[in-house]
């Protein structure tokens, strides 16, 4: 049985005091209840402050990106070891905003995924098609290509530690959510791809989150689909009540 996993991607939002208040609010409302895994991914400059605010709670810390090298002359970049040092358990890699705005390729994402796992960070690897790709009937091939490229070379054990987030680009921050059936179709395809590339044990173990305009009002139905194991939440993760509402949807 896969444990549901709800992660908040705060993107480039909030200031230090708002980040600490949001994290503290979640930590106190969630308490020690651990029937759902929960993580928040603040901007990296606030990781340390947020770690303190969630300490002793069930909320885990994640980062939004990292670089694949361990250290050295890479101005502006942050390594997996640094993220671990500051208390991260997870790192989001290959988010569509990084793919489409910052130009990250599957090959670059793959280097990061391999480096994260080698260091002991659990990657949340994002894939998803654009509206044009969906309308052109290419959803399945695009998502398959992204999974094969960004997760290339992982062992079965590494694959089981990796979370996949299916985030249709047209649903991110747009208020347009994939229907539960649309999302479930892609999630089921992803799971059979894992069975083909690895085996049924790996396919059954890997958690596949849905992301794209998840809100308290649509969470329960999405999360009720057999192959949807959690959510990667942007906008609605910036308010304690909304994010708690989505966590409640994962429990129902």
Angle between helices 180-197 and 216-223 (to 10 degrees): 40
Q: How far is the CB of 215 from ligand PGA (least distance, A)?
A: 8
8 near ligand PGA, judged by CB under 6 A: no
In the DSSP assignment, the letter for residue 154 is: -
Of 33-41, 77-85, 183-191, 230-238, the window that binds ligand PGA (rule: CB under 6 A) is 230-238
Quick check: helix, strand or coil at residue 1? coil
> Shortest CA distance to 233 belongs to which of 121, 124, 85, 157?
124
Choose the catalytic residue: 97, 104, 133, 167. 167
Interacting residues with ligand PGA between 95 and 114 (CB under 6 A): none
Least distance to ligand PGA, CB of residue 160, Å: 22
- DSSP, collapsed to helix, strand or coil, labels residue 90 as strand
Active site annotation includes 167: yes
* Interface region with ligand PGA, contact rule CB under 6 A, candidates 19-27, 34-42, 140-148, 212-220: 212-220
Q: What is the size of the binding site for ligand PGA (CB under 6 A)?
A: 13
187 is catalytic: no
3-class secondary structure per residue, 202-247: HHHHCCEEEECCCCHHHHHHHHCCCCCCEEEECHHHCCHHHHHHHH
Regarding 9 and contact with ligand PGA (CB under 6 A), the answer is yes
Question: Do 203 and 194 contact (CB within 8 A), yes or no?
Answer: yes
Which region, judged by CB under 6 A, interacts with ligand PGA, from 19-27, 134-142, 192-200, 234-242? 234-242
Burial (0-12, 13-18, 19+ Cβ within 10 Å), 71: exposed
94 binds ligand PGA (CB under 6 A): no
Q: Which is nearer to ligand PGA, 95 or 203 (CB)?
A: 95
Please give the residue ranges that form the binding site for ligand PGA (CB under 6 A): 9, 167, 172-173, 211-214, 232-236
What are the catalytic residues? 95, 167
């Amino acid at each position: 049985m896969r444990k549901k996993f709800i992660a908040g991607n705060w993107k480039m939002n909030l200031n230090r005091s708002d980040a600490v208040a949001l994290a503290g609010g979640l930590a106190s409302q969630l308490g020690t209840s651990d029937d759902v895994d929960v993580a928040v991914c603040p901007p990296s400059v606030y990781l340390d402050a947020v770690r303190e605010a969630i300490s002793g709670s069930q909320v885990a810390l994640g980062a939004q990106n990292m670089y694949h090298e361990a250290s050295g002359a890479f101005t502006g970049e942050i390594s997996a070891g640094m993220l671990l040092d500051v208390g991260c358990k997870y790192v989001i890699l290959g988010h569509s905003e990084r793919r489409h705005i910052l130009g990250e390729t599957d090959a670059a994402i793959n280097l990061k995924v391999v480096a994260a796992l080698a260091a002991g960070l659990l990657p949340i690897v994002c894939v998803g098609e654009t509206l044009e790709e969906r309308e052109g009937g290419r959803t399945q091939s695009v998502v398959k290509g992204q999974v094969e490229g960004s997760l290339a070379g992982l062992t079965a054990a590494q694959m089981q530690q990796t979370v996949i987030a299916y985030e249709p680009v047209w649903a991110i921050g747009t208020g347009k959510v994939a229907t539960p059936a649309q999302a479930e179709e892609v999630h089921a395809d992803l799971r059979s791809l894992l069975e083909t590339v690895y085996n049924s044990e790996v396919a059954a173990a890997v958690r596949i989150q849905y992301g794209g305009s998840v809100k308290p009002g649509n969470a329960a139905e999405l999360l009720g689909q057999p192959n949807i194991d959690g959510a990667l939440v942007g906008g609605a993760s910036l308010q304690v009540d909304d994010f708690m509402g989505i966590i409640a949807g994962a429990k129902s």
